[in-house]
Structure 1
Amino acid sequence: MHVRGVDPRDTTWEQDDATYRVYFWDRSSTASDEYEVTGADVEEVLAWARAKAAETGSAYTLYVRVTDDGRPGLVRLGGVTGDPFA
């Protein structure tokens, strides 16, 4: 982990309401279940994802959905990196 101080003026926008995507990876197959979550903060989504993963015996990946030049994309926030079956 690398930590450095920043100038908060280096960004041009921020958004208070995030849209999250959570992928649950079934360890017994190569399938995944995907969910979109809104109306919650990252701690709530993480708690839900961890509880569902424990209940179902699956791994999870948590992303925040962002838009870059009008194109949607995902930024990983936690969980397994990428497709665990790749």
Structure 2
Amino acid sequence: MHVRGVDPQDTTWEQDDATYRAYFWDRSARTSDEYEMTGADVEEVLAWARAKAQKAGSAYTLYVRVTDEGRPGLVRLSGVAGDPFA
């Protein structure tokens, strides 16, 4: 991990409400279940995703959904990186 100080004025926007996506990976069946969450903070969403993955015996990836120049995309927050079926 690399840590550095930043200028808090180096961004042009911020959003208080986030949309999260969770993907749960069943590696043996090579399938996934996907969910979208709103109305919660990241701690709540992480706790839910970890509990669901543990109960199902699956891996997960948690993302925050963002928009860049009008195009939707995902930023990984936690869990499996890359192709879970590789």
Query: Same fold by TM-score, threshold 0.5 exceeded?
Result: yes
What is the one-letter code of the residue matched to 1:67?
A: T
Q: What is the letter of the counterpart of residue 27 of structure 2?
A: R
Identity of aligned residues (%): 86
Instruction: Flag structure 2 segments of 5+ consecutive residues without an equivalent.
Output: none
Structure 1 gaps of 5+ residues are none
- In structure 2, the partner of 1:2 is 2
Q: Structure 1 CA distance, aligned partners of 2:72 and 2:52?
A: 26
In the aligned structure 2, how far is the partner of 1:46 from the partner of 1:13?
Answer: 24
**Could you tell me how far apart the structure 1 residues matched to 2:62 and 2:47 are?**
11
Counterpart-to-counterpart distance in 2, 1:45 and 1:75: 15
Query: Normalized against structure 2, the TM-score is what?
Result: 0.97
- CA positional deviation for 1:27: 2.6
Alignment length (residue pairs):
86
Q: TM-score, normalised by structure 1?
A: 0.97
Residue 33 of structure 1: aligned partner: 33
**Alpha-carbon offset, residue 28 of structure 1:** 1.6
Pairing 1:60–2:52 present: no
Could you tell me whether the CA contact under 8 Å between 1:27 and 1:57 is conserved in 2?
no
Please tell me the root mean square deviation across aligned C-alpha atoms, in Å: 0.7
Deviation at 1:40, TM superposition (A): 0.4
CA distance in 1, matches of 2:20, 2:82: 16
Cα distance between partner residues in 2 of 1:18 and 1:65: 7
Deviations 1:22-61 (A, max 9, x none): 0000132110000000000000000000000000000000
Counterpart Cα distance in 2 of 1:35 and 1:79: 15
